[in-house]
Chains A and B, each alone.
Chain A
Amino acid sequence: MDRRDFLKISGAGAVALGTAACAPKKNAPAAEEPEEMVIRTNPRNGDRVSLLGYGCMRWPMIKDADGNDIIDQDAVNEMVDYAMAHGINYYDTSPAYLRGQSERAAGIALSRYPRDSYYIATKLSNFGDNSREASLQMYQDSFKDLQTDYFDYYLFHSIGRGGIEAFNKRYVDNGMLDFLRGEKEKGRIRNLGFSFHGNQEAFDAFMQKYDSGEIVWDFCQIEMNYVDWKYADGVRNVNADYLYAELDKREIPVVIMEPLLGGRLANVPANVADNFKQREPDSSVASWAFRFVGSYPRILTVLSGMASMDPLIDNVKTFTHFRPMNEEEIEFMLTQAALIKEYPMVNCTDCKYCMPCPWGIDIPGIFKHYNTSITEGTFVHSSEQKNYRKIRNAYLVSYNRAIPTLRQADHCISCGECLMHCPQSIPIPQELMRINRYVEKLKQDTL
């Protein structure tokens, strides 16, 4: 606890005492709530991991002197300091994140602390060149960038799409699977697992390998949140309740990614936000999503890509005053998920794997702007709508502000280059076309 927190709490306590003396008060804050980050223990090796993990995929970028995008290292250091001070000890990165700069930034920020005070998770992200040489190089570079000689958690990055064949191509045929197993024996990798995006058939196949003893997965990273729990599309992505049950059955520790769907569950449609605020006016919308996933006991850590101090502070608050959900609350969350699914949002988590589009389209930017218009109520359903003129104007003006005209959806030529990169399996060209049709209707006033 730092000085400021102490003052805040003691001040609040004093006020509470004062008012309590005057009038009986409901919900007076308990004098001393536990200020400890929730810790989960990895049953396989006793690792004591903070339930809130730091996803290093969304750190802020700034321009350097030459106009190149670089990570704002000062901001990263500040956030990592805050995270370390509040007990966050799991940091998940990848050689692919943030245009290849995430590992180095994480290395710089974390190397200021004793190596045994945090866990590093990184990945073999050989999406492009998956030759043995390139993969080995990537593996070696990760040590250098992260300034370490061992990885606590190492992942086969984003497997599932393309099924076993794709997995074999990236990791088996080039011998990397055997190599990494050897590395684990040497202690340079402590836990070997995978992150998953794909359909049920693929997932079953990976579980089959585990059951047959072919590959021992030390842990598994899946996409889980209250929307994906039952409302993943089922065709390209599996419902999280299935994934969780399968992993739980096998007692495999689970790491959660996309608990907020790239921030979309922090910015939900107005009616859903109302429902949350109605129940707990002082809890953030995002905190509901975190409590949902944190309530499942097999979860080792929940990764959140905290891009600035505000969400970091809010998340730390959620996980230091952690309240697991009861059954009624879980039901409530699933009802909200159903409401969210009624909106025509694009399932984009802003991971930017699709970028750069060879034709210059700002794919995640267009989706983000579109989704935001829906959650903020600036989406137009018909020209009969109340405030139609105002909302139409707001959409078109904000679209041009958010996306330079040359990078807007109307310039998409549907070449499909992006399709293979999207972990959410979004039919990107079709979605861009859908958004463009909507924009055209607004412009031509024919909605």
Chain B
Amino acid sequence: MLKKIRIALAVIFFTGITLLLLDITGALHLWLGWMAKIQFLPAVMAVNLGVIIVLCLLTLVFGRVYCSVICPLGVMQDGIARIRVNALRRKKNRRPYQYKKEIKWLRYGVWAVFVAALIAGIQPLVALLAPYSAFGRIVSSLFQPVYIWINNLFAGIAEHAGSYAFYGKEVWLRSLPVLLVAIGTLVLVGVLAWTGGRTYCNAVCPIGTTLSFLSRFAMFRPVIDKDKCKNCKVCEHNCKASCINIQEHKIDYSRCVDCFNCIEDCKFGALRYRFAWKRSNSSVPEGTSEGTDTGRRAFMTGTAVLLTSTLVDAQEKKLDGGYAEIMDKKVPERTVPVTPFGSKSVKDFYDRCTACQLCVAACPNDVLRPSGSLERFMQPEMSYERGYCRPECVRCSEVCPSGAILGISKEQKTEYRVGIAHVNRDLCIVETQGTTCGNCARKCPIGAISMVRINPEDPDSLLRPSVIEEKCIGCGACENLCPARPISAITVDGRRDHLNA
């Protein structure tokens, strides 16, 4: 029964968060947005004390149910492990797991690195290790494209049928390094889950380790009744966390994720999930620290290679003979990153962001994409080659669970001046081609661009754009709609006074 409840809840959470990351309509966050907000790391970043306290109490009372139910990466691993277990069962192998000692050096080593990175503000490292961030980049980089392709298939059918229920969305490679890291994460987590169940959660995951500090004192835990136990080891051989030691009749509660498989499996009623504070029997098996750290090294070097890869934009052109060719835009140089409207400052944004990719996946205008720069790796930044931050859209601020992007209304957007446009007269077609234009000024949603005479002496000379510095908020409409290609003649740079506002 407990196992069934666990599985049902896990499926609900997993499906919800996955859908949240896949969604391109922005409709789901209203219903499911809270599922992201109760994730541990985002709650810490948002200093969401309520959630943190509830999660800690939850662990203290029931053990690491968070890892089995709320954490989507944990549930994903259970799914992968289950496939293997079922396959083994068909081969009459009913011993997929066995008790293993805790890999202390790795577990606490990673945890120490994680905490240090968190304190030092090395967010890319935090995002690399945190389970929610890992799941976010796997889904948004690998599964969302598939989701959109399927959606586009429906959109094609809908178009055929004259229905507007579905609309197509272009799939583009937002960042190659992040895609590679996502693949690496999926492979690593997948292999670990396939071979060892919850190895990642109990040897790498810093959130798992954090919760383990509490779970070893949990009020309710699975407890072995030595008198009833026949030492058949069914429980031990089916423990994904490899934390049941039947020889000593002990369970490592720091690693137990309360999946309740053992409770269901024991034919003799020797395992029960019960109130365990009466008789203190928390037994943490001692582990010996071994010298080699190949696993972690391999992981780190693997990603380090990926870090150095360059950002490559998807090159996709639809050519039609009857139309002039339109060159793709290139990313201009930005000295200060442009962060979403709703970010308090550049620093605050990158300090809080867990790089879960929720905002990137949600951005309907293809503005947000994970950064390829080392110090902000995988964390989002804004760029306007494919679209601009439209005045009516605040979707990223609605979905952000970590408080990096505060929830704002579209009216509040103008209160955040995240960037400022600059005109490059050498590229402006008014000057290079002597044609009238002014598209930037016409399309600026807040009227922050004046058109001035190229030659002030000559009242008949053409008009060129000039940015009214105080007004510009950095939405990028001008840059996106500028006819100069591949580099726009008017480009947005992050505001220096937004760096540490």
A interface residue numbers (CB < 8 A to B): 67-69, 99, 352, 355-360, 362, 390, 393-394, 397-398, 400-401, 404-407, 410-416, 433, 443-445
Residues in chain B near residue A68, CB distance under 8 A: 321
Residues in chain B near residue A390, CB distance under 8 A: 164
Q: Are A359 and B324 in contact, CB atoms less than 8 angstroms apart?
A: yes
Q: How far is the CA of A416 from the CA of B436 in the complex (A)?
A: 9
Q: How far is the CA of A104 from the CA of B442 in the complex (A)?
A: 44
17 A-B interface contacts by CB (under 8 A) = A68-B321, A99-B322, A352-B322, A355-B322, A355-B323, A356-B322, A356-B323, A394-B164, A400-B168, A404-B318, A410-B443, A411-B439, A411-B481, A411-B483, A413-B435, A414-B436, A415-B435
Sorted nearest first, the 5 A-B pairs with minimum C-beta distance are A69-B321, A360-B326, A397-B167, A413-B437, A444-B392
Is B264 an interface residue, CB under 8 A from the partner?
A: no
Q: How far is the CB of A97 from chain B (nearest CB, A)?
A: 13
Is B325 an interface residue, CB under 8 A from the partner?
A: yes
Is B319 an interface residue, CB under 8 A from the partner?
A: yes
Residues in chain B near residue A406, CB distance under 8 A: 326
Q: Select one of A99, A359, A393 contacting B164, CB under 8 A.
A: A393
Q: How far is the CA of A67 from the CA of B317 in the complex (A)?
A: 12
Residues in chain B near residue A67, CB distance under 8 A: 319, 321
* Given A394-B164, A411-B439, A414-B436, CB of A401 within 8 Å of CB of B322: no
Q: Are B483 and A359 in contact, CB atoms less than 8 angstroms apart?
A: yes
Q: How far is the CA of A360 from the CA of B436 in the complex (A)?
A: 16
Interface of B is mostly: loop
With A356-B323, A407-B326 given, can you name 19 additional A-B contacts, CB distance below 8 Å?
A67-B319, A67-B321, A69-B321, A352-B322, A390-B164, A393-B164, A397-B164, A401-B168, A404-B318, A410-B443, A410-B481, A411-B439, A412-B439, A413-B436, A414-B436, A414-B442, A416-B436, A433-B442, A443-B390
Q: Are A444 and B321 in contact, CB atoms less than 8 angstroms apart?
A: no
Residues in chain A near residue B326, CB distance under 8 A: 360, 406-407
Q: Select one of B322, B324, B437 contacting A69, CB under 8 A.
A: B322
Residues in chain A near residue B438, CB distance under 8 A: 413-414
Q: How far is the CB of B1 from chain A (nearest CB, A)?
A: 45
Q: How far is the CB of A367 from chain B (nearest CB, A)?
A: 15
Q: How far is the CA of A405 from the CA of B167 in the complex (A)?
A: 13
Residues in chain A near residue B287, CB distance under 8 A: none
Q: Are A99 and B321 in contact, CB atoms less than 8 angstroms apart?
A: yes
Q: Are A414 and B439 in contact, CB atoms less than 8 angstroms apart?
A: yes
Is B227 an interface residue, CB under 8 A from the partner?
A: no
Residues in chain A near residue B322, CB distance under 8 A: 69, 99, 352, 355-356
Is B486 an interface residue, CB under 8 A from the partner?
A: no
Q: Are B437 and A414 in contact, CB atoms less than 8 angstroms apart?
A: yes
A70: nearest residue on chain B (CB-CB)?
A: B321
Residues in chain A near residue B483, CB distance under 8 A: 359, 411, 413
Q: How far is the CB of A272 from chain B (nearest CB, A)?
A: 21
Is B460 an interface residue, CB under 8 A from the partner?
A: no
Residues in chain B near residue A356, CB distance under 8 A: 322-324
Q: Are B168 and A413 in contact, CB atoms less than 8 angstroms apart?
A: no
Q: How far is the CA of A357 from the CA of B483 in the complex (A)?
A: 13
B392: nearest residue on chain A (CB-CB)?
A: A444
Q: How far is the CB of B436 from chain A (nearest CB, A)?
A: 6
Which of A407, A433, A445 counts the most B-chain CB atoms under 10 A from its CB? A407
Which of B164, B167, B429, B483 counts the most A-chain CB atoms under 10 A from its CB? B164
Is B391 an interface residue, CB under 8 A from the partner?
A: yes
B440: nearest residue on chain A (CB-CB)?
A: A413
Is B348 an interface residue, CB under 8 A from the partner?
A: no
Residues in chain B near residue A443, CB distance under 8 A: 390, 392
Query: Which B418-440 residues have C-beta < 8 A from chain A?
Result: 429, 435-439
Q: How far is the CB of A412 from chain B (nearest CB, A)?
A: 7
Q: How far is the CA of A108 from the CA of B297 in the complex (A)?
A: 72
B166: nearest residue on chain A (CB-CB)?
A: A397
Q: Are A357 and B320 in contact, CB atoms less than 8 angstroms apart?
A: no
Q: How far is the CB of B313 from chain A (nearest CB, A)?
A: 15
Q: How far is the CA of A356 from the CA of B387 in the complex (A)?
A: 23
Q: How far is the CB of A381 from chain B (nearest CB, A)?
A: 19
Q: How far is the CB of B67 from chain A (nearest CB, A)?
A: 41
Q: How far is the CA of A359 from the CA of B483 in the complex (A)?
A: 7
B366: nearest residue on chain A (CB-CB)?
A: A405
Q: Select one of A357, A413, A416 contacting B439, CB under 8 A.
A: A413
Q: How far is the CA of A170 from the CA of B21 in the complex (A)?
A: 62
Query: Which B398-448 residues have C-beta < 8 A from chain A?
Result: 429, 435-439, 442-443
Q: How far is the CA of A401 from the CA of B319 in the complex (A)?
A: 16
Q: How far is the CA of A403 from the CA of B256 in the complex (A)?
A: 56
Q: How far is the CB of B166 from chain A (nearest CB, A)?
A: 8
Residues in chain B near residue A358, CB distance under 8 A: 324
Q: How far is the CB of A43 from chain B (nearest CB, A)?
A: 41
Q: How far is the CB of B323 from chain A (nearest CB, A)?
A: 5
Q: How far is the CB of A389 from chain B (nearest CB, A)?
A: 11
Q: How far is the CA of A362 from the CA of B323 in the complex (A)?
A: 7
Residues in chain A near residue B265, CB distance under 8 A: none
Q: How far is the CA of A352 from the CA of B323 in the complex (A)?
A: 11
Query: Which B83-127 residues have C-beta < 8 A from chain A?
Result: none
Q: Are B167 and A401 in contact, CB atoms less than 8 angstroms apart?
A: yes
Q: Are A415 and B321 in contact, CB atoms less than 8 angstroms apart?
A: no
Residues in chain A near residue B318, CB distance under 8 A: 404
A352: nearest residue on chain B (CB-CB)?
A: B322
Q: Are A415 and B436 in contact, CB atoms less than 8 angstroms apart?
A: yes
Q: Select one of B159, B320, B321, B325 contacting A401, CB under 8 A.
A: B159
Residues in chain B near residue A69, CB distance under 8 A: 320-322
Q: How far is the CB of A65 from chain B (nearest CB, A)?
A: 13
Contact with A along B294-326 (1 / 0, CB 8 A): 000000000000000000000000111111111
Q: How far is the CB of A52 from chain B (nearest CB, A)?
A: 28
Q: How far is the CA of A36 from the CA of B271 in the complex (A)?
A: 95
Q: How far is the CB of A341 from chain B (nearest CB, A)?
A: 28
B167: nearest residue on chain A (CB-CB)?
A: A397
B483: nearest residue on chain A (CB-CB)?
A: A413
Q: How far is the CA of A393 from the CA of B158 in the complex (A)?
A: 14
Q: How far is the CA of A407 from the CA of B322 in the complex (A)?
A: 12
Q: How far is the CA of A359 from the CA of B429 in the complex (A)?
A: 12
Residues in chain A near residue B442, CB distance under 8 A: 414, 433
